[in-house]
Each structure stands twice: as C-alpha cells, then as structure tokens.
Amino acid sequence: MIIGDSVAIPEPYFAKCSVEHDGKTYSFDSIRVHNPVVLVVNGKKLTPQHCGFVQASMVAAGPS
C-alpha cells in the first residue's frame, strides 16, 4: 500500500481504549484487522502473497 491507495476493511474490530499513567488519562480508538487477507486495496482483495506472516519457534535451553 502507498499514499493515495483506497483501503476497505470488511471485518474490522473496533475498540475504544483508555490508559492512565502518572495521573494522566490517554484515550484513543483502535481498529484491528484479524487477517490482512480480508483487506480490499484499490478495489482488489489481497492475497497471501501480499502479506508477510510471522513464524515463531522455541528451543528448550540445555543445562548450563
């Protein structure tokens, strides 16, 4: 996506967030997309090839 592209979010997750820190309250709206493949950019659906997916793995540490 670049500046000027039209982006549609067909399945948005909207939440109002509020956080207090050092006596101040910060409030903001949040829109999440659970799966970026549902996005429509410039009238075309994205494909998995447009997305960078995360892969995580864990390795148990041996004795020190």
Tell me the C-alpha to C-alpha distance, in Å, between residue 31 and each of 11, 15, 28: 10, 7, 10
- pTM confidence score: 0.53
Query: Using one digit for the tens of pLDDT, what is the confidence trace for 5-51?
Result: 999 988 889 999 999 999 999 999 999 888 888 889 999 988 878 77
* CA atoms of 50 and 32, how far apart (whole Å): 18
